[in-house]
């Protein structure tokens, strides 16, 4: 990237975080590329929520959602629409994002043809992580992700959603419905869940601490992700919380 472009990007970047904070655009559940936020805070949040429900003799099921080529898949016109809706200096940012081109280099040979970049955010630039957070911010405010024993934690393009309850069947159905709603939302905005890399975890107390109804149906706990008329099954890893 030319030096003048880097300077322009840094200038634009100085105004974006301030606007995000002032208008509360990036949800508190997003822990990446935010001042005084890190993976440590995200892990502590998950441990706190899980411990609370285990102390109430409940199970916690979590789905770790992985996006495929997240930054490269950002729909730029969709991003521009969101910037307008959120009252950013959108034309200034759009000027920075449009009419980008690239060439290919192999060893000492460089292609003579320039290729247009139609979609996606350029990785390694100052603004791309924050613009992705803006593009992805709405998912954390939709679908009632943080109420009624349902939680979410995001770190850049990784999303963790989890649900707590006493009975495996209800937990499984609730989590599966939620994950597929998230999948449908991402599809509308040109993002794709990598279903084969998603993981599911069920955290429970030792078996002797569970009643008969709680003991049933947890061994084959899994969720199914519907994608392109295909169903991907994520069989849960069972974690037992040893508590005195």
Interval 78-91: pLDDT, tens: 998 998 899 887 67
pLDDT surpassing 90 at residue 132: yes
Distance CA 203, CA 226 (A): 24
What is the structure's pLDDT at 244? 44
β-pair partners for 29: none
Average pLDDT rounded to a whole number, residues 57-71: 92
pLDDT surpassing 80 at residue 70: yes
Distance CA 152, CA 160 (A): 6
Distance CA 149, CA 47 (A): 14
What is the structure's pLDDT at 189? 94
Question: How do residues 76-122 score in pLDDT, each as one tens digit?
Answer: 889 989 988 998 876 767 766 776 766 778 888 888 887 777 788 87
Let me know how long the chain is. 244
Question: How do residues 3-54 score in pLDDT, each as one tens digit?
Answer: 566 666 666 677 788 888 899 999 889 999 887 888 999 999 999 999 999 9
The model carries a pTM of 0.82
CA 200 → CA 2, 203, 224, distances in Å?
44, 10, 10
What is the structure's pLDDT at 242? 47
CB under 8 Å, gap of 24 or more: what pairs does 33-41 form?
33/129, 33/130, 33/133, 33/156, 34/133, 39/155
- Which of residues 125 and 31 earns the better pLDDT score? 31
> How many C-beta neighbours within 10 Å does residue 190 have?
16
Q: How confident is the model at residue 153 (pLDDT cuts 50, 70, 90)?
A: very high
Question: How do residues 187-242 score in pLDDT, each as one tens digit?
Answer: 999 999 988 888 889 998 887 776 766 666 667 778 788 776 565 665 566 566 54
DSSP track, 199-218 = EEEEEE--GGGS-HHHHTT-
Task: Tell me the CA end-to-end span of the chain in Å, nearest whole number.
Answer: 57
Q: How confident is the model at residue 63 (pLDDT cuts 50, 70, 90)?
A: very high
Tally of CA atoms within 13 A in the half-sphere of 149 that contains its CB? 17
What is the structure's pLDDT at 122? 79
């Amino acid at each position: 990237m030319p030096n003048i472009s880097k300077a322009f990007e840094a200038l634009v970047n100085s105004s974006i975080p301030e606007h995000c904070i002032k208008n509360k655009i990036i949800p508190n559940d997003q822990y990446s590329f935010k001042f005084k936020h890190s993976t440590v805070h995200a892990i502590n949040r998950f441990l706190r929520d899980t411990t609370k429900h285990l102390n109430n003799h409940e199970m916690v099921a979590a789905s770790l959602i992985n996006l495929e080529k997240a930054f490269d898949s950002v729909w730029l016109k969709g991003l521009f629409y969101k910037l307008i809706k959120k009252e950013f200096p959108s034309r200034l940012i759009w000027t920075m994002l449009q009419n980008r081109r690239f060439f290919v280099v192999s060893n000492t040979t460089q292609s003579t043809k320039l290729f247009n970049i139609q979609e996606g955010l350029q990785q390694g630039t100052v603004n791309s992580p924050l613009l992705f957070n803006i593009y992805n911010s709405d998912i954390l405010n939709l679908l009632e992700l943080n109420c009624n024993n349902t939680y979410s934690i995001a770190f850049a393009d990784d999303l963790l959603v989890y649900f707590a309850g006493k009975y495996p069947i209800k937990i499984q159905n609730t989590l599966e419905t939620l994950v597929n709603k998230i999948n449908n939302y991402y599809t509308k905005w040109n993002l794709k869940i990598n279903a084969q890399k998603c993981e599911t975890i069920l955290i429970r107390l030792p078996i002797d601490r569970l009643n008969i109804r709680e003991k049933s149906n947890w061994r084959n706990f899994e969720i199914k992700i519907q994608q392109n008329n295909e169903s991907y099954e994520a069989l849960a890893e069972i974690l037992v919380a040893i508590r005195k």
